[in-house]
Each structure stands twice: as structure tokens, then as C-alpha cells.
Structure 1
Amino acid sequence: MLTISEFGRRTGLSHKALRLYDVSGLLPPAQVDPSNGYRLYDEEQLERARRISVLRQLDMPLTTIAEVLAKSDEEALIRLDRWWAAEEATTAARRATLEYLRDRLSRSGSPGLSPRPVLIRDVPETKIASIRSDTDQQSLIGVIVTSTDDIRRYLESAGATLPGGSWVIYHGAVTPEAEATVEVCVPFDGLVDPSGSIAIRVEPAHREAYCTITMDECVYPRIMLAYDLVGDWVRSTGEATAGPPREVYLPDCHLLPRDQPAVDIAQPILERKP
């Protein structure tokens, strides 16, 4: 058995960190001396403690660390890769936001979004798997990336066919200060049952107005200019909305050059009767 001081020295963890991981359930001591309350650790806990230390250096939240540690090494690797992909997507979005702000400051008065048309299309009835989550602007990218990956993995394991692409429906206004519900949707063909947070439903056929933006433009706050463009068009033409707005991602849009069309900002509208 190792004292908390010896265990901390061998793992690089402070007393404060070890107490936190004890309270959170991540790393409880193997034994607590009933007479003096001293925490004692087993040498077999060293590897788990070192993994926690490394994951915390990556700024991984404790809840995610718990998920990683609860899985087999193979499953933990998949979870780690998914989390890191979400982190990289968030970093790319923040970088694009910074570039947008620098551009606006250096070219005061210039339009933040180049002119483009708003088009109309008819979307057929589509079977989808979806996950609903409450998120704010800071966590949004990570939620989208992680949920999309979770859905695709589940659909593939169930033998479904994925035609490609996905979309996110905004059931409320997601801002830096407030959370709202978003629904990540992945279309598929086949027979699949719902599982856990993954719901299976049919997206009704509908008509929608949309404009197309690049990945560089698909970041907050620049993306709001595209929403404004579509919203202004709907109001100016007298169309009636028929559901919440959405972002429709082209297949493998993350692999496209960041200055190429990749995402549609869409607003469902009512079909006009002849």
C-alpha cells in the first residue's frame, strides 16, 4: 500500500487532485485508515492514475474521463478519438471566428458575407436517426461532431445504409450565454430500432428556402449573416415558415477546402396552394 504522498509522487498528482478524484469517484483510495483517515493506494492503481493525469493535461472533462476509463482499451481509444475530433473542430471554429473578427475590424463597413442567392427546394420524406441535446454556443461544435459520430456508428453496426450527409435542427436560439435544444439528424435506409439517446423517426416531406455557405463561413458569428439572409428573404417574399431552421451538411463536408460550398442554411416554408 502507498501513502497519498508516495502515490502522488509516483503519478505526478497533487493531494488536492487526488482528493478531487476520490470525491468524483474516478480514483477512490484502496483503503482509508479508520483511525486517522489517511488514504492508502494500491500499486495496481498507478496506471489508472497516470491515465487520468494525461487526460487532464488535455483538458478532458472529468465526466468524459470517467467514460473513457469505464471502457475496454479498444473502446476507450474510439471514445478518445471522437472527443479529440470534437476538440479539433471547436478549435477550427474558434480560429475562423477570430479571423472573421479581425476582418471586420480591419475593413469596417464592408459586408461580412458575399452576395448569394436564396433558393427553394422540395425535400422528400426521409427516415432519420437523431440525438437531441441542450447546448450553448461554446459546446455546440463538440455536440454536433460527437452526436453525428455516435449515430453513424450505431447505424453502421445495425446494418443500415447511409446515403451521406447530415443536418442539425435548431429548436431554440443557441447563444454564447444561453442553451437551447439542437437535434442532430443522420438519414439512413434500413430497419433500425431506437437505442438510448438515439431516436428513430421520419422527417416529413417539406419545402425549404436555403443558401449555401463555406466551412469558413459556418462559424459563429459569421454564420448568423447567412441565417439573416434566408430570414430576410422569407419575410420579403411573404412566405410562411413551417418549422425550425437547420444546417444541412454536404457529405464529407469536413474534407472539403474551407473556401468551398459545404453547408446549406435552410428554413422550411409552407407550400403555396395554387
Structure 2
Amino acid sequence: MNGYGDDDLLTIGAFAARARLSPKALRLYDRLGLLAPAYVDEASGYRYYRTEQTERARLVALLRQLDMPLALIGELVTLAELDGTAAAARLAAYWADVEARIAGQRTLAGYLRGRLSGRSSEMEELYGTFVVETVDVPERVVLTETRHTLADELPAWIGASLGRLETGARECGGVTAAPFVVYHSEVSMESDGPAESCVPVADETAARAWAKAHGRTRETAVRVEPARRLAYTRITKAQVAHPQIIAAFEAVERWLAGQGIEPVGPCREVYFADWDAAGPDDAVCDIAFPIGS
């Protein structure tokens, strides 16, 4: 049998019993590329396994119970055969991401329960009272990067894109005002915007040259942001997370409705503080809507 003695191989049934799995599960793992048989008889199609594959089979089964993506399971079980410590660290990183997502979903579920039941006082206690004010901002030249992105990729893209634009701004006379992100359409798990990161710069000519040089791989551009009046509420670093930030957007929308005011442009987040240096309770961002003068 393909260089193996009969004593070295187990039928799929015998191996399934040893691994405490079903033959159906083993066929699935083979189809998914997670655990291939040691040998397949060309004439009969029968699958045979080695005893040493038992640990991998059991590990695959356990990892699937964590709802781990198949590609990551394949990566992790292969890594486990080379370096168990590294595999354990990779699993820990995956599970930390899962717990962060679950914590966010738990908070969102609490927000939705309060919203559906109309318990506004409990919502304010949970998220704090959002104070809405207005401010006039002058016309500005902005270096921009635009991307269609879903909500799960948005935070990483905002940080990376603003970093790239701020680097470019240093070649364009420097940053002249707080960076901001404009949402030209909804960004959620079903809608991909687009979103536009913007960094105000001093030198329009230099900015256009920089954008032309760097716009081949990203949607980088320069435009003039007109003078605007913004209705905004200020939030902390902790409140930038979902669903607190949703509540902040809705607070400004309620204020506008109460004043009989319609927005005249897309909503935005204005990041006026050093994100890395800020603590959870430090104000870092304004949630804003452009309104008429």
C-alpha cells in the first residue's frame, strides 16, 4: 500500500473509533483540507490513516467547536506539530479577539434592549448624557483617502489611513486642523460606505503633488472642504466603541430633529486628541453633522 505495511495503516472506521470521531467527520476534514488520509486506495477509494494522525484529528475537532475559521484551524494544527508554544499563543490571540467581539455584542444587546423598551433614563445612565453644541469651521484644504469598508475593518483602516495622510501632510506644510472621517454612506456589516479620511494641510500645491504620487494604490486625493457650521457632541475614547458611538450619533440626530434642522452634508468623526496617549475617559472625538449657517 503505497510504501506502507498493512500494520501501519488503519481503515477509516478503525481510525474514527480511535480518534473518537465519525467517518463522516473525517471525510469532511479531508474535503476541507484539514486532515488528509495517509493513503487512498486508487481502485476502491478506501481511505487509510496512520495512528500518529489521531492527535491532529482530535485537535481539529476541538478547534471546530470554537467556531474558528477553517483557514486558521489549518494554520494552527500545522503550527502545533512544529511548535506547541507558538500554537498556544496563536490560539490565545484568536480567543482574545473572540472575547472582545462578544463583549461588544453584549454591550450592543444591552443598548438595544434599552432602546426597544424606551428606557431612556437607563440609556443615559449607561452611556452618559450627550451634550450637543455648534461650532463654525473655516474652509480648509484636505488630503484625503477614500475606501469602501465594512464595520469590522473600519477602526483599523481609520488608524492606518490617518497615519498615512499625516505622514503626507508633513510634506505639505504640516497638519493645520484636527483630522476627521466623513461617512458618505452608512458603514455597517451590510453596507460599505464609502468612508473618507481627511487631514487638513497648509500647502494645496504640495498636497496635490503628494496625492498624485501616492494615489496609484489607494484612492488618495485633495479637495477643498467648504466652511461649515457643525452640530456635534464630544465623546471619550471608551465611547468611540460600539454601541456607545451609535448612541452619540443618534443623540446629535435627536437634537437636530428637536431644533427642526436638517443636515446639509454627511456626518463625520473629528479626532482632535492624541489617540495613543489618551485614556479611556479622555475626550478624543467629536461626532458631528454639518448644518446650515
Q: TM-score, normalised by structure 2?
A: 0.56
2:191 paired residue number: 180
Is the alpha carbon distance of 1:8 and 1:219 closer, same or farther for their aligned partners in structure 2, counting shifts above 3 Å? same
Query: Structure 1 regions of 5+ residues with no counterpart?
Result: 135-139
8 Å CA contact 1:33, 1:39 repeated in 2: yes
Alignment of 1:1-274 (within 5 A): 1-5=9-13, 7-8=15-16, 14-41=22-49, 49=57, 52-53=60-61, 55-65=63-73, 83-84=94-95, 86-100=97-111, 108-110=119-121, 112-113=123-124, 114-120=129-135, 121=137, 125-128=142-145, 132-134=148-150, 140=151, 142-144=152-154, 151=160, 169=183, 171-172=185-186, 174=188, 179-182=190-193, 199-202=218-221, 204-206=223-225, 207=228, 208-214=230-236, 215-216=238-239, 218-220=241-243, 222-234=244-256, 236=259, 238=261, 240-243=263-266, 245-247=267-269, 251-252=274-275, 256-257=279-280, 259-267=281-289, 269=290
2:3 paired residue number: none
Report deviation, 1:174. 3.4
What whole-Å deviation, never above 9, does each CA across 1:122-144 have from its counterpart, x for those lacking one?
Answer: 6751344x65334xxxxx4x434
Q: Which amino acid aligns with 2:186?
A: G
Report deviation, 1:170. 6.5
Q: Which amino acid aligns with 2:264?
A: T
Structure 2 distance, partners of 1:67, 1:170, is 38
Structure 1 distance, partners of 2:112, 2:34, is 40
Q: Which amino acid aligns with 1:56?
A: R
RMSD after superposition: 5.3
Structure 1 distance, partners of 2:133, 2:283, is 14
8 Å CA contact 1:212, 1:263 repeated in 2: yes
Matched length? 250
Structure 1 distance, partners of 2:89, 2:180, is 21
Report deviation, 1:180. 1.1
Higher helix share: 2
Is the alpha carbon distance of 1:106 and 1:209 closer, same or farther for their aligned partners in structure 2, counting shifts above 3 Å? closer
Structure 1 distance, partners of 2:144, 2:254, is 30
Percent same amino acid at aligned positions? Answer: 32
Report deviation, 1:181. 1.1
Query: Structure 2 regions of 5+ residues with no counterpart?
Result: 1-8, 200-206
Is the alpha carbon distance of 1:271 and 1:95 closer, same or farther for their aligned partners in structure 2, counting shifts above 3 Å? same
For the pair shown, which has the larger CA radius of gyration, 1 or 2?
2
